[in-house]
Structure 1
Amino acid sequence: MSKVAGLSLFLLMPFQVLAWEDDAVLAFISQVNPIILAQRNVSKAYEKSDSLTWALQNTSLSGRLGLGGTDFRDDPYTVYGGVQINIPLSSIKEEREQAVKLVAEAKALDDMHTKVLLDIAQLRQMEAELEASDVRRKFLKEKAAWLKERIDEGYSSEMNELWTIGSKLNTEDALIAKVGVLAKTQRYKLAKYAGTEWPTLLAYLEGKTETLGGYDG
């Protein structure tokens, strides 16, 4: 393989731009993150019951026997029955505890969103660097192709310029390789926010799937 032909191998290394939406990632994590789910379960446990549930929880049947019969029965005992309703004296305390749990849930969600958005911003920066490097690389490849044509036409003086471009292409390749590894690690970091659903989120961040099911609208 000639040196000039070797330079043409750069044309076979395109950069793939990945498309994913910040809002979709944030919504997905908000629905499946184990910390958020645990906090919501606690809030739900303190949730105030509806009217029917409250009645079932605080109503009981009561009955007792009394001596003596009635005008209609000769039984020696009289049965008294009824419904007893227990009104909880701690209702205000329960409402206060529910409010505290809702505030804790909101804070946990806000803290999680802050962390996720920071990691999204870092990943976006890395992908921007990869895309910018790819633009520079395409320009250098086009110029290298033009110089190669000049050399094929007998302008051997262009050889030094061609090698200079080849060196710049190597620099861009090294940058893409370095940032590409960092971006891959960052995608894994983001995906782990999704708990057991992390493979689904990772596939989305890597461009292997276009949606996140029903979580991304």
Structure 2
Amino acid sequence: MRILLVEDDLPLARELKASLHHQGYAVDHVDNGKHALLSADGKTSDLVILDLGLPDMDGLDVLKQLKQNAVNVSVLILTARDGVEHKVKGLDLGADDYLAKPFSIEELLARIRVIERKKGTNTSSTIAAKGVVLDVSTNAFTLNEERINLSRREFMIMRILMENLDRIQSKASLETKLYEWGDEVSSNTIEVHVSNLRKKLPQDFIKTIRGVGYVVRAK
């Protein structure tokens, strides 16, 4: 999952970005509403984490405009504002969830996982296919109950494929979800990662759909 973090508190933004990176997420950051609207096009971002207290415009106005523009992206609101009315208004405008500051990173990650489950095919934090098990709550990846060590981006690819069992993922969509602004991506990067993964997995676990992309079958 690729996340657009909209937060003008730079120390908090750095902390959140580091924590999300550690969990395998690709994160782009902007610090105002105007840049958020320009960046959240629904093609590069799967989730917008949106602070309401932005310097140039109210976060609820950003949310409202995103929904008016029919941008197909999930939104998780962060705010220091008290009062149920702000939560109700945000949810009525189309936000998927709402988290009040201060909050723990563990709770934020749990809420992100709920949103991921809604977007994917799995309904729990544990996904299993052909002896391979992925626990997205702990980032544990096992084959026949033995832990497999993966690089950060190998793990991200497996997470995307296993959260979307039987759904073909194109090379372009994988690149979009794995890489942030400014990352250098060579033409065969995804192929190299998939090749390395195949050496650690059962034969034909990751199937290539020629000219389309990759898929992991549930059965």
More helix by share: 1
More strand by share: 2
- Which TM-score applies when normalising by structure 1? 0.22
Whose relative contact order is higher, 1 or 2, with alpha carbons under 8 Å and at least 6 apart?
1
Bigger-Rg structure (1/2): 1
- Which TM-score applies when normalising by structure 2? 0.22
